[in-house]
Amino acid sequence: MNRPFGTTILDTAFRYMVPFIMVYGVYVLLHGEYSPGGGFQAGALLAIAVVLTRLVQGREAVFDMKGDTAIILAGLGTLIYAGLGVLTVIWGGNFLDYAAIPLDLHAKELRPLGILVIEVGVTICVMGVIIAIYDALTRKDDDI
């Protein structure tokens, strides 16, 4: 798993697949309010794009994310979620009451906005955790 497989078919196929997987991941995230989908699924899709590159190209992959960066991103995603909850309390609402966001919008528009923010947090968290676990499983001993 640390060396590239090197076959022409894999090397060509994943170049076409990865952009579509990433676009589909963003679509699932942004369209999650209207259709099946949401943060967890989008995070898995975005992480698979990176994991697939690592599977095919090995450690020489250009499109890569380090395990340390990934776990920091995962913590950041959780922080976005919890931070929005704390901010809504500071802005005078209940915990995670999106209607308290101080924007000049109707509550019916504020609530989908809050849902989108926490879905972004969930996506970043799931993506970071999957990439970080993959990186920890496939790292060499001398990398530590």
Partner 1 sequence: MRILSMVFSIMLLGLLMFGSLGLPLIGDKDSPAAEHVSPRYIEKAYKETGSPNLVTAVLADYRSYDTLGETTVIFIAGAATILILRTAAGRKNAEGGSDE
Report the interface residues with partner 1, using CB under 8 A: 32-36, 38, 67, 71, 74-75, 77-78, 81-82, 85, 95-96, 98, 107-109, 111-112, 114-115, 118-119, 121-122, 125-126, 128-130, 132-133, 136-137, 139, 141-142, 144
- Provide the token pair at 41: 């699924």
Q: How far is the CB of 32 from partner 1 (least distance, A)?
A: 6
Cα 103 from Cα 105, distance rounded (Å): 6
Q: What are the backbone angles phi and psi of residue 104, rounded to the nearest 5°? A: -80, 65
Q: How far is the CB of 11 from partner 1 (least distance, A)?
A: 29
Closer to partner 1 by Cβ: residue 17 or 87: 87
Closer to partner 1 by Cβ: residue 21 or 76: 76
- Provide the token pair at 92: 């005078």
Closer to partner 1 by Cβ: residue 14 or 81: 81
- Say how many CA atoms lie within 13 Å of 129 toward its Cβ: 13
Q: What are the backbone angles phi and psi of residue 65, rounded to the nearest 5°? A: -140, 130
Cα 20 from Cα 109, distance rounded (Å): 30
Closer to partner 1 by Cβ: residue 14 or 98: 98
